Structure 1
């Protein structure tokens, strides 16, 4: 098995895991919001949205568990030098005896907890929401120990910032990607009021997440470049970062378009055409956010520019 294939497989599963994590988190947020709307009631006009959010959450959490295990398996293959199909022999040693393996194991454990919280289609209770919140924190902590932040050492400030960055990015991307699936189920005249309220909540949550993404992302970028912007153009890591920044900028523009134009117009008119406009812009933003997660996975598997410059 070639190193190039192994790198590609690790990157692909990392990207899929990040997207699944974001979707699971976004679906959880929508379920909490829809619970406040009593959308789980049999006669609720928003029942279709509730059911869709439940399906997305359970499906995304299932994919996250599978991708987390696959990533840990591939890490064992990479560290042991064994063929992928035989990496199971060294899986336990890597999972318990290396920093990256322990981080992957923590992430996998958090993924299982998140799956347990997501598989139920019952209304979001305080206990289940608390379990899901703990699971999300565990997943983010585990993921932060697998990437470049781990170079600074276990429980370092770099890992803490990276964990917060992962949470913020998943929160932003999650409400956008999950929203692109959930909101169309509310695109009826009887559920229009719920759609408007959820879009407003989603917009406010995304604003908070974006602020955290920018702050933590700036720190990570500075750390990755070592304070030397020249590495952005002279390394594959820098090229991936520029692509990621470009996708984020485009997603921000679409989000701003919905927040400052589409949503106010929809709130004033409650018209079907305006609802379609908001949803279609959201779908485009969701595609860009998926690209952001792919670029982030490439970054995590590339040598930082500062290391190459040094």
Structure 2
């Protein structure tokens, strides 16, 4: 692994795609939960629903653009040329490399995700296409990582695809909820909608976290080659440790909301308890941003077992 401008650019774009994809997934879920109330012109939930819709479009747009820039950096890195010259290498990368095939799947899913997010109606076909696009993006992103070393139709690819999906559900709900949607439900007239949405967010996040931990443990064991030494002495292992610390911090904050702030909010429906839930969710969102950045660095680092030879 050579840390230079191209590597930093790749990691930055990968981190941006991670965050944008999660934002889009979380916003789609929150928008679906708020649609029944928010679609009404006069509704306390309308502001939050509109934020979820805008966040979905923004996340999908950023995902498409960041994917394009990442491919340019990747082409430059693979060919050993500068960014301007890499433009001419892109067609070869797309047509003749595994990276090109995997990127095309992820990018195609991102484009469909953007188009469906721009659709004015909320029909069954639109929703089906949206979630198929989400799965395509997750599969493409998984195939761009170290799991691809095991082959295009391997258990490692399947496990990592699931990991990308559930991480984006958990992280996306936290990011879109904590940084945009839930604060828009802060008025007293929207308190009932906030309590219901907070409960849905907490329950779905809990299920997603279980799968995140299971699939993450599989990926970590595979990357370390089953050796703790690989985690202790390799750069990859140190980055993994940092990511686990950030995940633990997010888990603690999410746990505080679930076992303390949310039950109090349900009992009192007070403004103070609503603010407490929102503030803790905001801190959890900041921790999740760090998790997604660390995940991007891991994906562009030499696995622990390879570093040990």
TM-score, reference length from structure 2:
0.97
Say if 2:225 is the partner of 1:226: yes
Shift of 1:112: 0.4
Query: Moved runs in structure 1, 4+ residues, more than 2 A?
Result: 122-125
Q: What secondary structure does 2:139 align onto? A: helix
Change (3 A) 1:245 1:159: same
Shift of 1:123: 5.3
Q: Is the 8 A contact 1:52 1:182 kept in 2?
A: yes
d(CA) in 1 for partners of 2:66, 2:263: 39
Q: What secondary structure does 1:279 align onto? A: helix
| Structure 1 gap segments, 5+ residues each | none
- Residue-by-residue CA offset, 1:208-256 (whole Å, 9 max, x unaligned): 1101100000000000111111111211100100000000001000000
Say if 2:161 is the partner of 1:163: yes
Matches within 5 A, 1:24-173: 24-35=24-35, 37-120=36-119, 122=120, 124-173=122-171
d(CA) in 1 for partners of 2:304, 2:166: 24
Number of the residue aligned with 1:186: 185
Number of the residue aligned with 1:245: 244
> Size of the alignment, in residue pairs?
307
d(CA) in 1 for partners of 2:30, 2:3: 40
d(CA) in 1 for partners of 2:234, 2:284: 28
d(CA) in 2 for partners of 1:78, 1:252: 36
Which of 126-135 and 24-33 deviates more?
Answer: 126-135
d(CA) in 2 for partners of 1:240, 1:284: 21
| Structure 2 gap segments, 5+ residues each | none
d(CA) in 2 for partners of 1:269, 1:213: 32
Change (3 A) 1:274 1:60: same
d(CA) in 2 for partners of 1:75, 1:3: 14
d(CA) in 1 for partners of 2:90, 2:306: 28
d(CA) in 2 for partners of 1:228, 1:282: 35
